[in-house]
Structure 1
Amino acid sequence: MKSPCELVVWHLLPAIRAELVKNLKKEQILQKDIAKYMGITPPSVSQYLSGKRGSDMELPEEIMLKIRELAKRIITEDMSPFEIMKSICPICIEARKKKILCDLHRKIDEGLPDDCNFWGEIKGCV
């Protein structure tokens, strides 16, 4: 059985990062600068933009809005990679509370109980 944390690392975080990269690119930020802001490599930025990473799940509109707001803050506040990381964590928590990983988890691990509420019980980063 997959750990719920594996789903976050392999699916949710890449989806959040991909949307953040796309939003920064829409603001005419250069790929090398996006990489510097986010503490990732330029090839990673390219993979997020091309859909090779982070494109296997759809995020709800409320989460997309939070990502757009973060992209604007990154530009206006000239945030450091550490500040960006701290700002991604609450977005990830909110997404997990919305149980957007439940369907994916059930596809991967058919043995999950129907009444599983793991994602609904998330309180914060650990």
Structure 2
Amino acid sequence: MRLITMRPSFRPWLAGAALSALALTGCVVAPVGQPYYSDPYSNVPDTQAYAPVYAPIAPPAPYVETVPVAPYPGALWIGGYWNWTGHRHAWVPGRYERPRPGYHWEPRRWDRGPRGWQQHGGGWRR
């Protein structure tokens, strides 16, 4: 019986391939954010005013979101938006909600004003 032995020039290549494969096991590809689902009837009533949100800098361009398949018939996609955290803009991903009879969704928007950039909207309106 004859044993097959590796040539000495083949061993560094094999070691390099093994190290590369080991290094790639730590790589993970993950989406930016997963949409979440909420109940619109648990939202803050329209009569309660939201505190104004001001930012010293303009929000970045909106992300182009991939809209997932609706979880149920009639689900309404609410697109994501840039929110101000007090120090920087942070992306809030879109989500599905149940439509509210007699209401429409007003998306958030940013307008420039005398105090900087102000966030408006983002709720169910009659």
Give the TM interval when normalised to the shorter protein: under 0.3
Higher strand residue share: 2
Higher helix residue share: 1
- What is the TM-score of this pair, normalised by structure 2? 0.21
Which structure has the larger Rg? 2
